[in-house]
Structure 1
Amino acid sequence: MDKGTLNLYTIPEDKLQEKKLIGSGGFGEVYKAWHKDWGHLVALKKLNTKHVQNGQEQLLLEAKKMLCALSIDHVLRMYGLCRCSDASFGLVMEYMENGSLARLQALVKPLPWALKFRVLHEINLGMNRLHDLCPPLLHLDLKPQNVLLNKDLHIKISDFGLSRFKRGITLPQDVPPADGTLEFMAPELLDDVNCCPTKASDVYSYAILIWSVLKGEEPYSNAMSSVIKLHVPRGQRPSLEFLQDLYNHVERLEDIKSLMVKCWHQEPSERPSFKDCIQTTREIFKAHEHQEGKAVCDVWDALKKMETSLEQERWEVPSSTTLSSSPTSGLLANFKTMTLEQPPSLMNEAVPLSDPSSRTPQGFNSTGLPPPTAGAQGTRKKITDVTPQPPINGTGYPKTPVSSADPYMQGPYASTPSSQTTPARPGSQTRITGTVSYLQIGDNNKMDIRHTRRKTKTKK
């Protein structure tokens, strides 16, 4: 790309304000930014500093290819290049409010069928236009992470970082094959290191993407990379068992399955083109089009509820914790209050560290477990059935051995401090409850357990 062309599409970095990191990868980072002259949001894809030297040429090549696809409705639009402060370039692109298809599948389970079929049809339309360019443009990394959605949940195909221009039947020798993503790579690319990607390679990736959309999951999620590399070239594909119970409930499901199987055919020459697929995906979507509006509204509502829930958690969680901005913040809703209803394992008993010589209390063996007693096996009680035990001594253990049938009352925190020697009163019961004020995922966790007693009235 010559200097004059670069100047024509260069956007000054100071025009991009309020930059916020929204994604990152091996190539670098993606930022959301406000273009102060245009008055709307854009996305800035910027190389990592360590990749500036080696990746600059590839980034400019990607920009050139995206310019060739400016007129395609379902391909992400590029506005220009940004010359960054570190002398590198970034791509200024259309901002997609709802992120990637992979993100949406993770947040909304399951996606409505009408939206699934619309997504698959629009991907087909976009890829057909890319292959129809002169020369054709191959994507070679088609997957849910590279399919983005705007505010109306229409799709745009993105990330041409691994794309190659196809010249004639094969690629020039100085252009190496793309690495792609293993789960979505065609078998011929896995089986032959000298194989050059073709249009059929993208069609195969589309078939695996169809499976991912129908299932709502990543393919081969339980398989190691070595197993995928070995068995996909031998003809193995993702399981279709999950479709068996859906044929009577989802219209035209058999048709999309048939198309998917054709597109992942072992022989590239037997796979249909995207142009051949358009009529089928259009008819399938048309059968569900009357539910399109409701499907979009349902997804909007689901996303809005999640945003509202996360916002409430930010207010409820104390400021001393960092969970409000953590990906695990959604876990808090499941940990508001917990009640111990099953006895904990004795193997998890806490042992005081201050006096090693006293780690084995009276009545316990060298492993820290009570000796077996008759009738002890299988004895498990709910917490409400436990009778309080005698108070502990200064070492943190009971003065007398406790029954192994009552494991709740064992350990250094089983009863009240030794200064409180009030004997247990008949008819009293013990119940352990806890309210989580904050939750930390990782090391150095703690839990504050407060002991209370509840009296039960006895009839006179």
Structure 2
Amino acid sequence: MVAIAIWYYVKKSDRIEEKENQIKIEKFLVDHKSHVPTRYSYADIKKMTNGFRKKLGEGGFGSVFSGKLPSNGVPVAIKVLKGSKGNGDDFVNEVGTIGRIHHINVVRLLGFSAEGGKRALIYEDMPNSSLEKFITSKDRSSHNTASFDWMKLRNIITGIAKGIEYLHQGCDQRILHFDIKPHNILLDHDFNPKISDFGLAKLCSKEDSLISMTAARGTIGYIAPEVFNGNFGTVSYKSDVYSFGMLVLEVIGARKESAVASANSEVYFPELTYKSLVQGEELDLELGDDGDAQIAKRLAIVALWCIQWYPVNRPSMKAVVRMLEGPSESFIMPPNPFASTTHTEPTATASS
């Protein structure tokens, strides 16, 4: 009897909590009516996915299904969220951020559904999946490897940088993503990168140099030191810059395994790259010619600027884009990112 009473109490509490979450979501949708995309019923979602027939992927958030818009048959990817996960904040973050913006390097949210505990998000279709798929050896067929020459990698990384720059400076409010990593970079049919998954994002005024946080957010291996160490009062847009730098180091192959594969990987592989560049040694990468070597060196130097220990020493994303697209002759080697006790003033090239 006691077990039954406990089960009944838990189920009742879950129902009350879910009702409160739905009220919160509905209030958000009413308050932001002019900024959110098209709303669909859950029955519409079921029709779009043909009864959830083709699953594209699955994670802690829920499942992604292939579908088509009812109005024009355009292919879409539909993320069906797990009703028992979280308190609706991820859903609100997604709709409240990318629901109001449009940029070539940010995935487009085309619609959503919210009925009780059933929630879904409708995105433009990304036929080439995520960047993570193309930088893990087990997924690299000869065809995919040929598609990813060094110029293509540079273009992809530059596109990601432009997307983050837009989030930081191009919107009415600054959007801090807090989970930049290869898995959250999607690729369209032309391999143009699109930043996705804004479930951890925060909005803040462009005038706010620092924001407050109550807990760390992000993925181990890509989280900036100030976030990982719990200095939540000193977190800024420079945390995204650090995550971008770690992503770049992984993409160029300077690290032999995923950033999250080992507890020490986020320290060892970037440090090895830094030492090689300082000592004038060739990077241990697959390089076709001198042009490839120059691109790899440029990307590595930019990444090492981005992962500086102190946020003030990291460049803005505007400066990162300039470094990626400008002449390589003006490049300056950054300070050692791993000498955390040494505080150095950033150069004009890096900070502006």
Q: Same fold by TM-score, threshold 0.5 exceeded?
A: yes
1:145–1:221 Cα change, 3 Å: closer
Query: In the alignment, which residue of structure 2 is the partner of 1:62?
Result: 94
CA positional deviation for 1:67 = 1.9
SS at 1:239's partner residue?
helix
Counterpart-to-counterpart distance in 1, 2:117 and 2:300: 49
Number of the residue aligned with 1:122: 159
Matched, 1:108 2:148: no
Normalized against structure 1, the TM-score is what?
Answer: 0.54
Q: 2:173 pairs with 128, 135, 139, which one?
A: 135
Q: Quote the Cα distance in structure 2 between the aligned partners of 1:282 and 1:262.
A: 15
Cα distance, 1:275 vs structure 2: 0.3
Q: Output the CA distance in 1 between the equivalents of 2:300 and 2:310.
A: 18
Aligned-residue offset at 1:202: 0.6
Correspondence 1:3 to 2:30 = yes
Question: Which residue is equivalent to 2:299?
Answer: 256
**Alignment CA distance shift 1:203-1:218 (3 Å):** farther
How far off is 1:137 after superposition?
A: 0.3
Identity, % of aligned positions: 24
Kept in 1, the 8 Å contact 2:76–2:125? The answer is yes
TM alignment of 1:217-256, pairs within 5 A: 218-220=257-259, 223-224=262-263, 227=264, 232=267, 237-240=270-273, 243-244=283-284, 246=287, 248=290, 250=292, 251-256=294-299
Contact 2:217–2:227, Cα closer than 8 Å, also in 1: no
- 1:4–1:266 Cα change, 3 Å: closer
Q: 1:12 aligns with which of 16, 37, 41?
A: 41
**What one-letter code is carried by the residue in structure 1 that aligns with 2:135?**
Q
Contact 1:140/1:162, CA 8 A, preserved across alignment: yes
More helix by share: 2
Other structure's SS at 1:90 match: strand
Q: 2:247 aligns with which of 202, 209, 212?
A: 209
Residue 280 of structure 1: CA displacement? Answer: 2.2
Would the alpha carbon gap of residues 217 and 72 (structure 1) be closer, same or farther in structure 2, given more than 3 Å must change?
A: farther
What is the aligned counterpart of 1:267 among 310, 326, 339? 310
In 2, Cα distance between equivalents of 1:277 and 1:41: 34
> SS of 1:43's equivalent?
strand
Where does residue 28 of structure 1 map in the other structure? Answer: 62
Change (3 A) 1:88 1:56: farther
Q: How many residues align?
A: 273
Contact kept? 1:256, 1:284, Cα under 8 Å: no
Distance 1:136 1:38, change over 3 A: same
Could you say if the C-alpha distance between residues 223 and 238 of structure 1 is closer, same or farther in structure 2, counting changes exceeding 3 Å? Answer: farther
Question: Structure 1 residues 146, 117: closer, same or farther in 2, change over 3 A?
Answer: same
Is the aligned partner of 1:162 residue 2:200? yes
Q: Partners of 1:217 and 1:17 in 2: how far apart?
A: 38
Which residue, out of 215, 229, 234, partners 1:191? 229
Do 1:131 and 1:199's aligned partners in 2 also have CA atoms closer than 8 Å? yes
Whether the 8 Å contact between 1:189 and 1:195 is mirrored in structure 2 is no
Task: Report the Cα distance in structure 1 between the residues aligned to 2:123 and 2:269, rounded to whole angstroms.
Answer: 38
Report which stretch shifted further, 92-101 or 191-200. 191-200
Distance of aligned partners of 1:239 and 1:259 in 2 relative to their CA distance in 1, 3 Å threshold: same
The answer as to whether partners of 1:17 and 1:36 remain within 8 angstroms in 2 is no
- Residue 105 of structure 1 aligns with an amino acid whose one-letter code is I
Distance (whole Å) between structure 2 residues aligned to residue 94 and residue 249 of structure 1: 35
Deviation at 1:4, TM superposition (A): 6.8
Q: Deviations over 1:127-146 (max 9, x none)?
A: 00000123210111000000
TM-align CA RMSD: 2.8
User: SS state of the match for residue 22, structure 1?
Assistant: strand
Task: Give distance in 2, aligned partners of 1:113 and 1:188.
Answer: 32
Q: Name the structure 2 match of 1:37.
A: 71
Query: Following TM superposition, by how much is the alpha carbon of 1:218 offset from its aligned partner in structure 2, in angstroms?
Result: 4.2
Which of 70, 88, 106 is 2:118 aligned to? 88
Amino acid at match of 2:301: S
Q: Are the aligned partners of 1:56 and 1:89 in contact in 2 as well (CA < 8 Å)?
A: no
User: Given that residues 10 and 81 in structure 1 are in contact (C-alpha distance below 8 angstroms), is that contact kept between their aligned partners in structure 2?
Assistant: yes
For 1:252 and 1:146, locate their aligned partners in 2 and report how far apart those are by CA, in whole Å.
23
TM-score, scaled relative to structure 2: 0.69
Deviation at 1:5, TM superposition (A): 4.7
Change (3 A) 1:92 1:139: same
String of CA shifts for 1:128-170, please: whole Å, max 9, x gaps: 0000123210111000000000111111100001111124233
Unaligned runs of 5+ residues in structure 2 are: 1-27, 277-281, 329-352
Aligned to 1:281: 324
List alignment gaps of at least 5 residues for structure 1. 286-460
Instruction: Decide whether aligned partners of structure 1 residues 87 and 189 sit closer, same or farther in structure 2, where only a CA change above 3 A counts.
Output: closer
Q: CA 1:182 to 1:17, structure 2 compared with 1: closer, same or farther past 3 Å?
A: closer
Match of 2:105 in 1: 74
For 1:383-435, what per-residue CA distance to the aligned partner results, in whole angstroms no more than 9, with x for missing partners?
A: xxxxxxxxxxxxxxxxxxxxxxxxxxxxxxxxxxxxxxxxxxxxxxxxxxxxx
Query: More displaced, 24-33 or 151-160?
Result: 24-33
What letter is aligned with 1:14?
Answer: A
Q: Distance in 1 between matches of 2:302 and 2:252?
A: 13
Q: Which amino acid aligns with 2:159?
A: E
State the secondary structure of the residue aligned to 1:176.
coil
**2:342 paired residue number:** none
